[in-house]
Each structure stands twice: as C-alpha cells, then as structure tokens.
Amino acid sequence: MNPIYSVMILICILSMLTMSVLVRKSVTLTNKTKMWFIITFIGISFGMTAEFLRTVLDANPISNELYRLITLAEFCITPMLPIPLSLACGIKKPAVFASLFMLVHIVLEVVLVNTGAVFYVDGNGTYHRGDYYVIYISSYVISLLYLISIFYFISRRFRNRNLFILIASLVVIFAGILPSVMEREIKTAFLGMTFMAIILYNYFEDLTQQDIANDLAAQNERIKALQAGMIIGIANLIESRDSSTGTHVKNTSNYVSMLAHAAKEAGIYPDIIDENFIQRMISAAPLHDIGKISVPDHILQKPGKLTEEEFEIMKTHTTEGGKMIYQVIEDTSDEEFIKVAYDVAAYHHEKWNGNGYPVGLAGEDIPVSARIMAIADVYDALTMERVYKKPFPVEKALSIIETDAGSHFDPVLAPLFVEMMRKKLNIY
C-alpha cells in the first residue's frame, strides 16, 4: 500500500474528528446546525475509513464478501454527505429532494450489489467496475452539483459573500474529487471532500458571525435612537417646568453641533474633538439642564431676580444633574458618552476665569464639552424670551459672548462661535 496515501487518509480522518470537536465548542452556531456539521464530518470519516479498508483488502484479499460490503458502504455514504452539510447550512427544501434521490440510489446499490452490475470482485479479490457503474457515477456527479449549489444558496441567503472562498472550494471539488471518479487509481476523493467540508464550515460560520455582527449593530442603532428619543423627551419635560416651550433643547443641540463641527474643521483641540466626540456631544446636549428637575417651581418660574438663597438652590442643578446622568444612563455600554454627558450637565456653568460654579474650575481644567455647552447655552438664553427677561438682539448676544471670551468663555471657541454665527446670519 502506498504510504503517502495511508498518511493522507489518516490526516483526513483526524481532521474530521478534530473539526467535530471544534464544532461542538462553537458559540456562533445553533445546536441543530452543529449537529448536522458533526454528522457530516463523522460521515466523511466513515467513508474514508471504508475506502482505506478497501485499499487494505486490495493488497491483502481475505474475503470477497467483506470487500463487497465495505465497498457498498462507501458507495452509499459518499453521495449522501452533501445532504447533512446542506441541512447544517439551513438549506432544507433542496435537501429533502436530494435525500429522496440518494435513497433511491442506495436501494439500487443494495439490490444490485450481488449482481456485479455496479462493481464486482473477481476470484483474485480485485475490484472492477460493472457495466452499470454509471449508477454510482451519476449519483456522485449529482452530489457534486448539489454541493456546488449549497454555495449558491448560501450566497443568496447571506448579505455577505466571499467569492474567493467559493472559487477555492469549487477548485477543491473538481480537482480533488472528479479525478477519482474518472480513474480508480487516483484516490483523492476524500482528500478533496475533507478540504471542502472544512472550507464550507468556515465559510458558513464566518458569514453567520458577520450577520450576527450586522444584526447587533442594527440593534444598537435602534437602542441609540430609542435612547436619544427618551433623552429629548426628558429634556423637554424638564424645560417645560420653567415656561420654556422646548425650543431651548433643540436650539442648544444645534449650536453645539455647529460649534463642534466648526472646531473640528479648524483643527481646534484635535486630540479631543473628533467625529465620535461630536456625536456624543450632540446626544448629551439635551441633558445639560437635567438637574433642574430638583429645583422647586417657585424658583424656576420666578419672573424677577433670584435672591442669594434662591440662586444657591438654582446652582445645585449642576451637581444634581451630574448625579442624575449616572442614574439615568449608567447602564449604557458607551462609557465615553456617560463622561461627556456628566461633564456637560455638571460643568456647563463653569467660567474660564474660575468664577463659575459648582466647583470653580478654570481654563483648560474645564472639560471641552462643558466649554462648548456653555457658549451654546448662554447664547440661546440671551436670544430667547424668558419669564424674567425679553430676548436680546442677535448681534448684542454675539457681542456679549465676544466680549466675555477669555473671562467667561473659552478664548478660542467663543470667537469661533461668534464668527460662525455672523457668517451664518450675514451679520457684519
């Protein structure tokens, strides 16, 4: 017996048994899918074992009946192997029709095994193809074609396709299996089938993982949209308590978006302001006054100037807002978003010169997100009507922000905001 062939068969059998163990440990596939893959791999192992035993009996003829039984087992198992592979990949309807055809083939093989019509063993124990060997060849070719169709169905079923793997698998099928069909001395059928099964399993699992990843991404987007809607709703509810119509939430979010994008384009604080930061800022902006829910109505809705005591209570909306951020959105997986939201709520009343509240942060100790929020918040407060004041003209509001750059506001961001708004509103 050819030692290379023996080693090849042994490697293939060990590969299939190893794959069976790996499939059991897969966390991507369902139990039913894993079961069909394992059946396929074990089926290939049985087929290879049968072929190996037949080769042994070729060299050492012991019993023609045993030889015939092993050959029959190989001929029955081999064309059936694409069917469990198909079921493993979720291709069920075509597998039913293929199973019926292969069952007819098995019946014919069993009925004709003693007639020598498909194959026979002569007195010397040598195997020969019979006049109706075409029965086996036809089933095998149909099995190969069905194998090819599995790739097609998979590519139709999944949103992602890998043509390189598909082409490589077809090459393995034709180069590894068809030569064995045409010439008995060339025994590479199960080598090709082993590679094909491994490639198809990896192909299917990879596509499944990609689909799962896409589904999770879509689910995350839906959760983010739901979260954003809830945030806007909470913010509008809070704003309505101080006689606001909710436009403050919308306006400040727009100003934050405009200023953050302008800063990114201008290359300001490039190590902080990137696209992810901007998206988190836009999402967090509506929460900047969430702490006002803890401020009594008589203070929020007071038409006149607040007393010193009342103002101290009003200032607590920053610290309370920071606490509420963690209470409301602590379960989100985006820790950076929580940090931005907290900074915006807790520190948007801090001033560049250190005279703000709640803790008196100064200069670059104030988070960039809070500095952006401060400009957007003050500008909208100045230009909108409140119970305690009339709206300021836009140019006057911009002049106040321009004047207070370096004292109240970030000396770089404030002029950028003023320039941006003047260009947008054509005010010169």
Highest mean pLDDT among 43-47, 228-232, 318-322: 318-322
Cβ atoms within 10 Å, residue 331: 7
Question: What is the C-alpha to C-alpha distance for residues 259 and 409, in angstroms, rounded to an integer?
Answer: 13
Q: What is the mean pLDDT of residues 83-90?
A: 85
- CATH entry, 243-425, from 3.40.50.10090, 3.40.190.170, 1.10.3210.10, 1.10.620.20: 1.10.3210.10
CATH architecture for the domain at 3-214: Up-down Bundle (1.20)
Active-site residues, by number, are 292
Residue 383 near residue 397 (C-beta atoms within 8 A): yes
What span, in angstroms and rounded, lies between the C-alpha atoms of 356 and 128?
97
Q: Tokens 């020598």 label which residue?
A: 116
H or E segment to which residue 282 belongs: helix 275-284
User: pLDDT value at position 63?
Assistant: 72
Give the pLDDT mean for 330-357: 88
pLDDT, position 201: 82
Burial class (CB in 10 A: 0-12, 13-18, 19+), 225: exposed
1 has a pLDDT exceeding 70: no
Q: Does pLDDT of 245 surpass 50? A: no
Range(s) within the chain of domains with CATH label 1.10.3210.10: 243-425
Asked if 317 contacts 288 with a C-beta cutoff of 8 angstroms, the reply is no
Question: Is the pLDDT assigned to residue 395 strictly greater than 50?
Answer: yes
Q: What is the predicted pLDDT for the residue at 216?
A: 77
Q: Provide the pLDDT for residue 230.
A: 66
In terms of average pLDDT, the best of 141-150, 278-287, 412-421 is 412-421
Nearest-angstrom CA–CA distance, 187 and 121 = 18
202 touches 88 (CB < 8 A) = no
Q: Which residues contact 85 (CB under 8 A, 6 or more apart)?
A: 36, 37, 40, 147, 150, 197, 200
Q: In which residue are the tokens 């002569």 written?
A: 122
Q: Where in the chain is the domain with CATH 1.20.1070.10?
A: 3-214
* Local confidence band at 394 (pLDDT 50, 70, 90 cut-offs): very high
pLDDT of residue 314: 92
| CA distance linking residue 91 with residue 97, whole number of Å | 11
Angle at 106 between CA 202 and CA 72, to 5 degrees: 90
CA distance linking residue 251 with residue 245, whole number of Å: 11
